[in-house]
Amino acid sequence: MNLKQKTSAKSKSSLRDGEGRTAFFAISPFYFLYLVFGIFPILYTSYMAFFAWDPLGEKVFIGLTNFTNLLQDEVLWKALRNTLSIWVLGTVPQLALALYLATILNRNRLRFSNFWRAAILIPNVTSVLAIAVIFSSLYGRDFGLINYVLNIFGVDKINWMEGTLTSHFEIATMIIWRWTGYNALIYLAAMQSIPKELYESASLDGATGWQQFKYVTLPGIRNVMIFTITMSTIGGLQTFNEPYILGGVTGGNDKQFYTLAMFLYEEAFRKFQFGYGAAIGIFIFFCVVIFALINATIASKIAKD
Amino acid sequence: MSTLTIKKSTSPATKPQFKIGAILAYLTLGVTTFLVVFPFWWMLVVASNEKNEIAKNPPRVTLGDQLPVTFDVIFQYANITRAITISFIIAISMAVSHIFFCTFAGYAFAKLKFKGQKQFFAFILLTMMVPGQLGIIPMYILVTRLGWNNDLKAIIVPGLVSAFGVFWMRQSISAVITDEVIQAARIDGASPWQIYTKIVFPLVRPTALVMGLFSFLGAWNDFLWPMLILDGDKMLTVQMAIAQMKEQAYIVNHAAQMGAAFFATLPLIILFFLVSKQLVKGVMEGAIKG
């Protein structure tokens, strides 16, 4: 017994040397690239935010001035409001719809289930800007199909990107269109990993379909829900492509759909205020952390009750 | 009378309800599929009709015969073929390198033992939560210092690996391959490298391909970073080409914009039909472990 243990320990340690070397080779390309292009820029941003940083000229340490200026900048608060509004309009219906689609796809004896699953994933596998061009045509003021249909019901022509709420709505529908199916599949996967016995015993106890959903399904997919909410928070606070291509880099005449990411882009790469841009980046990061925490708390509460 | 009511309540009472539920389910799926497909259909309608057909009341929702004219306009005014080539080069390089490097690193995290393994991995997970835009200004400075402005290297090299790829492959390798299999191979004298090439990679190849496909998609759809790096004249991606056409609405009409959208979408749709099953599976697998 003792002897056996000894030899196995010995062979393990000699194996481990080879393992260490292979592990080193396996990880170092990833690690090197990730360090240089992933970690370093993030850390350097926090450094730059304390400087008045002219890309072609001087870099002057100014302490917290970028941050105090930023917090007094009206544009920041407007961009934050817009970003949050677009994110809420785009995320809440999206995840609710995804949950509903997932319960449908999770039905027993659903026909063509492979077809439906593939169909709802298509929007996620398309070119964002191409879709933006299409949506922009559908929402067109004069010849857009959506205004045409609304007109049948007596609604006057809407200039979607002109208004604050209407522009947010247009951008949000595009986000919903792209991500609902993807999240539905994620929910579906989580639902399928819930043991069938839980449902059986629940229905033996006389639980209705809705009660089963509330007391078995929701708690069962809680972690995945938190995951999707966190991901959509990270994505939502960085919204850039959709408003940019639907309405232009200025974010509208009234900055009605100007987002935080557009603000960062403009300050850093149009006005070349690198330090100020870095401060905006850090602001976005803090928003992500705060909102992700709030959402995770809310989501776990909902699933627990 | 009484037997009837008893029958109704005791025999599978859920049956009529089930039917309504089923109808509702198929209806929802049908409507959803319609909403998914319609924008693509509209793209073809606008691209293949003359402007006044679309502006008519009611507008035309069927295909016209103007597609060749539209394509002429696109090839005359826009660098669309060039843009597609460049986007392909970028996206394929990233996908291939993701499949290679991320799977290899994922193997090390899942099955090899080395110092600081847990801490490394926790760190990677943590950084996945950081928004990419946070580092974009230093990235720009870095790439400029390297002299990579207007160079595809600036887009490809930072995208060769990603935390999400390593995370995904590590999860998949731990789930698919048991320690016993690896142990058995070791006893037979296989080196860690041989174990990787002969056992691990073949077993997780489907997942690795899906992961590569998602990095392909990410690269194809990236807009902000290429726009900062490339001059947009000779060097441009598909997304940039579409953005340019939309900004130059005075030369490039609506139909041509849609035609460009068609070219930007077509490769992805073809790819999708080839691997839709694996993609669905990949998304769902990533979810359970994530």
Q: What's the mean pLDDT in A84-100?
A: 95
Q: What's the mean pLDDT in B251-255?
A: 73
Per residue in B90-145, pLDDT (tens digit) is 999 999 999 999 999 999 998 888 888 888 888 888 888 788 888 999 999 999 99
Inter-chain touch B109–A39, beta carbons under 8 Å: no
Residue B78: which of B268, B270, B267, B258 has the closest Cα?
A: B258
Q: How far is CA A45 from the centre of its chain?
A: 21
Sequential DSSP letters for A213-255: IIIIIHHHTHHHHHHHHHHHHHHHTT--HHHHHHH-TT--TT-
Which residue in chain B has the smallest CA separation from A272? B137
pLDDT above 70 covers what percent of chain A? 93
Per residue in B143-180, pLDDT (tens digit) is 999 999 999 999 999 999 998 899 889 988 988 888 88
Inter-chain touch B136–A264, beta carbons under 8 Å: yes
Shortest Cα–Cα distance, A111 to chain B (Å) = 9
Per residue in B29-81, pLDDT (tens digit) is 999 999 999 999 999 998 888 877 777 777 788 888 888 888 888 887 768 88
The predicted pLDDT at position A246 comes to: 86
**ipTM score of the complex?**
0.84
Average pLDDT, chain A: 87
Would you call B87 exposed, middle or buried from its count of C-beta atoms within 10 A (0-12, 13-18, 19+)?
buried
Q: What's the mean pLDDT in A166-172?
A: 95
| DSSP 8-state assignment for residue A51 | E
Length of chain B: 290
In 3-state terms chain B splits into helix, strand, coil percentages (rounded to 5) of 80, 0, 20
The predicted pLDDT at position A9 comes to: 42
Shortest Cα–Cα distance, B257 to chain A (Å) = 7
pLDDT above 90 covers what percent of chain A? 46
Residue A271: which of A46, A52, A40, A37 has the closest Cα?
A: A52
Query: Among A35-44, A54-63, A79-88, B48-57, where is mean pLDDT lowest?
Result: B48-57
Q: For residue B149, what are the contacts with CB-CB under 8 A and spacing of at least 6? A: B143, B229
Q: Is the pLDDT of residue B9 over 50?
A: no
Using the CB atoms, write b or e for A176-189: b if 16+ within 10 Å: bbbbbbbbbbbbbb
The predicted pLDDT at position B5 comes to: 41
Quick check: B113 contacting A, CB < 8 Å?
A: yes
Task: Give the separation between CA A126 and CA B39, rounded to whole angstroms.
Answer: 11
Quick check: B52 contacting A, CB < 8 Å?
A: no
CA torsion, ordered A10, A14, A20, A22, to nearest 10 deg: -140
Q: Indicate yes or no: pTM above 0.80.
A: yes
